[in-house]
A and B are shown apart, each in its own frame.
Chain A
Amino acid sequence: MSDKINLKIDNIAVSINGGSTILEAARKINIRIPTLCYHEDLCVAGNCRVCVVEQSGSDRLLPACAMPVSEGMEIHTNSMKVRNARKQIVELLVSEHRADCTRCYKNGKCELQELASEYIVGENGFIDLVAHKGYTIDNFSPSIIKDDSKCIRCQRCVRTCDQLQSISALTVAHKGEHMKISSFFEKPMFEVVCTNCGQCVNRCPTGALTEKTYLDEVWSSLNSDRKHVVVQTAPAVRIALGEALGMPAGEIVTGKMVSALRRLGFSSVLDTDFTADLTIIEEGNELLHRLKKVVKDKDDSVKLPMTTSCSPGWVKFIEHAFPEYLPNVSTAKSPQQMFGALAKTFYANKIGVEPENMVSVSIMPCTAKKYEADRPEMRSSGYKDVDYVLTTRELALMIKQAGIDFASLPDDEFDSIMGESSGAAVIFGATGGVMEAALRTAYEVVTGREVPFENLEITPVRGMESIREANIKIENVLPEWDFLEGVELKTCVAHGLSNAKKIMEAVRDGKAEYHFIEIMACPGGCLGGGGQPIPTSPAIRKKRSEAIYAEDRHKPIRKSHENPEVMHLYEEFLKEPLGHVSHKLLHTHYTERNRY
């Protein structure tokens, strides 16, 4: 199939591997064919028909996204026949879509709107179908709003939920005029297996699936004199925020982001990276503790493999799909929630603010974090630990609303005592990063030496391959860890929940033996999170990933346990990892959930 095929598109010759599609061939020679249901991350659906093209000698038009090239084809992407058909298809989609553009959250960012303006869909289109349908909006979820009246049935969300995430919370229901995207028995999203990962939101071309926004709440907190508003920013925000503000993918904008947050009026601009380092200390120690119980004490009430717990989409997934493995999930809270719990206790105390007067906001690449902040367990400070979660996209919107010219902002530094971080925390934003960070610390705790990788870069756990394994032999240990001498630590990293499912099935079926598994719900890890700038693609995620590892390389401190502010926190407040205070503030438990 890989022999070269020669064809002509708009009279330009192109040669491409057999098995490629007309769309791919056209892109190769920079001819843009409009698409809607097509998405680089997903299998081809060929259902919107916006990409139809004409083949000389054939009566019907062909879908460029689904049609393989063949030798000698002559394709026309801009003939009268094609333009007419395309315009009608766009008109049809508009007639089915509540085209309330000026009132829409996706105004200016909607792919249908763009096509409608390109094809000048005017007044004399088709009859409006929306009025007949009695649509309702599902806004019960803390993370995702689903508005069927704006849905154009491209099924990107359905394919995302099924193929990338193996969840199928969203599926197609009914047929004909009643066909729609729905959930199990048409229950609201928050009642079904939806993990809130927001990958569907990230791929929805219109305003049918959007994040639930908390901008108004945050603005009014900022405008209230009585409130001290602290903000934390997740590692993956700083390498993607620029994209939503007109910069190329892969730009590191940490300093500008901090400046912008100060300009927006946040009282303390702090860093989730700080608690990422803290997570490593707690979670790394938990892993060692579990290893000790299992290897040395032969205590079979303690479970291995241990899995990470910082991805709230993953946590909700395992609660639904593999509840029998909940004891295997690290009890350490995610960095966001550790931060929240400390902000309204340790930090509030430090800066002399009453916790009830503190508003804790987080900027996350993630929609599931909105859900996580809402979990009833996440109130260990006695208040809601994190009040509002904004996505990277929402922060970009705030910056625009405030009239800030982001690109020209000077760099600024995070505030102190919960703003310092190591390179290990930065890489939390990429798949494999938590594993690498944990290994950097745990290996050193056990052996007293740095991990045996050049420049601390544990390359086997890096990359974008869907499932990666790495075994690290532990040798010449410190005396108190003698039971680990010669043990080969078996680790596994997976991103995207369909890969998580594979791993868990392998574990369940006894086909895989690991000590430690890192799972991130989203493709690429947090850098590809559901709250990140749209669009996403493998190439964009690669750029973001490169930016993350570059940031790590340039950090003066590379290991979590060397973060001075974290060390200070232990000395002054927590006393010891897995200690009494940690238990109260930094660890949590999980809940078995329904299977639908």
Chain B
Amino acid sequence: MNQIQREFHLPTIDKLKQMKKNLQRLDLIFKNEHDTETILKKTLARSNDEVINDLISSGLKGRGGAGFPTGLKWKLAAEAEAENKYVICNADEGEPGTFKDREILSSVPHKVLTGMAVCAHIIGAKQGFIYLRGEYSFLKSQLLEIIDDFHGILDECGVNFRVEIFMGSGAYICGEESALFESMEGKRGEPRNKPPFPTDCGYMNRPTVINNVETLAHTYSIMKYGPEKFKDLGVQDSRGSKVFSVSGDTPIPGIYELEFGMSLQKFVDDFGDGDSKAVQVGGASGFCVPRKRFEKTIIGYQGKLRGTSLPTGGSMMIFNSSRSMYNVLHNYLDFFVEESCGQCTPCRVGTQQLLLGIQAVKKGEQPSVYLDKLLDLAEAMRITAKCGLGQSVANSFSSIVENFREEMIY
């Protein structure tokens, strides 16, 4: 160990290598496979129902955050009657601390495209889009080439489907599916009222399947290896592998494909720096879990599991004891105050009040019980906001304020 490493508690190279080696990494999505044409032909030869049933029985749930069963989504869109339908790959990846879709699109884009094409074939869409995060414009030219090749394969397989790239412009809210449609239609990125849902009335008011990049890549694995293999991984309602973006106080930040449903304790053991005080699961709109709950918290969708289970789009931020949770929360609230589309009252005004509120308590301008009023407000936002953004501000707010109340006040 050298001087700097000792001073900053940095692990040695050997330690890092050891940590990485100990990880039980999976290699489903990131396995380099180049059998697009074979998989496509094999899948297209089957009936739509068979493919959809495979997806349903695999237990695959959307990896964009909300966790909607993917097979069911495709089924609903297939049943909707309309002349035009669309398939959209949501590559807006705006959640703070998430960077896995970028990696998937860089290393295995053909899997995503294959998923889109099969979906299009099943629901009857001729046009697909990749809604690419503005900051990922460096991926565009490479992706366009791959799409071009892919169109060749589609022609050979007799699939009438074309994919275009639509560049986002940087607003987090445009990752929300209905705001994304609005943005693609050239309007302001504001979420719509639901119902109607995208499978009935999406882009251009036509039935639309919108899936996260990772979700689509998973469908490829399911088509290739069958639903059982996928279902063998994970637990209960959280099946398959999951790609995590690990950041914060970890010696080994990066992108990891792991089995779904591990406990947070195991996660921290594998990734933490030995001093982890909290983990933010699911980014700014996710939950903060303090050390005392690591053991009982499972990373996955709420099912019949005991303890708490937390869904995640994949962002895992680890905080060690040097971090001020007030600053962490302040940071998230800054983000929401800025990124709320501003359309609905609870979110637009609520986020500002939460931010000003914790500042006022910190400065002593409001008594500490004001935090309780703010917790009530967060709850009201959760049940009244129009879209997932405003509804999930309470996740980080309440979990941080409740677990680190003293840090908010002193």
* Interface positions of A (Cβ within 8 A of B): 44-50, 52, 59-61, 63, 66-68, 81, 84-85, 88-89, 92-93, 95-96, 126-127, 129, 152-153, 155, 172, 174-179
Contacts and interface: CB of A to CB of B under 8 A. Distances in A.
B87 interface: no
B344 A48 contact: yes
B353 interface: yes
Contacts of B336: 176
B350 interface: yes
Contact of A47 (B344, B352, B376): B344
Contact of A92 (B193, B353, B360): B353
B356 A89 contact: no
A44 B171 CA distance: 24
A93 B382 contact: no
Given A127-B360, A176-B351, A48 B384 contact: no
A68 to B, nearest CB: 7
Which 3 pairs of residues, A with B, have the shortest CB-CB distance?
A179-B342, A92-B349, A66-B193
B148 interface: no
B324 interface: no
Given A92-B353, A95-B349, A172-B188, A46 B386 contact: yes
B349 A93 contact: yes
A52 B344 CA distance: 12
A52 B342 contact: no
Interface residues of B, number: 36
The dominant DSSP class at the B interface is: helix
B344 A68 contact: no
Interface of B: 171, 173, 188, 190, 193, 195, 336-346, 348-353, 356-357, 360, 366, 376-377, 380, 382-386, 391
Contact of A68 (B195, B341, B385): B195
Contacts of B341: 175-176, 179
A153 B193 contact: no
Given A44-B193, A50-B345, A176-B341, 10 more contacts: A60-B384, A88-B377, A89-B345, A89-B380, A127-B353, A129-B356, A152-B345, A172-B190, A179-B342, A179-B348
A85 B350 CA distance: 12
A66 B193 CA distance: 7
Contact of A177 (B171, B190, B337, B376): B337
Residue of B341, B356, B380 most packed against chain A (CB within 10 A) = B380
17 contacts: A48-B344, A50-B345, A59-B383, A61-B383, A92-B377, A93-B349, A126-B357, A127-B356, A127-B366, A152-B345, A153-B342, A172-B188, A175-B342, A176-B336, A176-B337, A177-B340, A179-B340
B338 A85 contact: no
Contacts of A66: 193
Contacts of B344: 46-49
Contacts of B386: 46-47, 49, 63
Contacts of A68: 195
Contacts of A92: 345-346, 349-350, 353, 377
A176 B353 contact: no
A49 B382 CA distance: 12
Most chain A beta carbons < 10 A, residue from B340, B343, B356, B385? B343
B391 A60 contact: yes
A335 to B, nearest CB: 40
Nearest to A154: B345
Contacts of B385: 49
A195 to B, nearest CB: 22
Given A68-B195, A84-B380, A88-B376, A49 B346 contact: yes
A48 B344 CA distance: 5
A89 B383 CA distance: 11
Nearest to B391: A60
Given A49-B345, A60-B383, A63-B193, A176 B376 contact: no
Contacts of A96: 348-349, 352
Contacts of A49: 344-346, 384-386
Most buried by A among B190, B360, B384: B384
Contacts of A81: 383
Contacts of B342: 153, 172, 174-179
A60 B381 CA distance: 10
A430 to B, nearest CB: 35
A95 B354 CA distance: 12
A180 to B, nearest CB: 8
A88 B379 CA distance: 10
A177 B351 contact: yes
Looking at A46, A52, A93, A126, the one whose CB has the most chain B CB atoms below 10 A away is A126
Nearest to B339: A176
| Centre residue among B340, B349, B353, B382 by max chain A CB count within 10 A | B349
Contacts of B352: 96, 129, 177
Contacts of A176: 336-342, 348, 351
B73 to A, nearest CB: 20
A46 B341 CA distance: 14
Contacts of A177: 337-338, 340, 342, 348, 351-352
Contacts of B383: 52, 59-61, 81, 85
Contact of A127 (B193, B345, B357): B357
Contacts of A153: 342-343, 345, 348
A95 B353 contact: yes
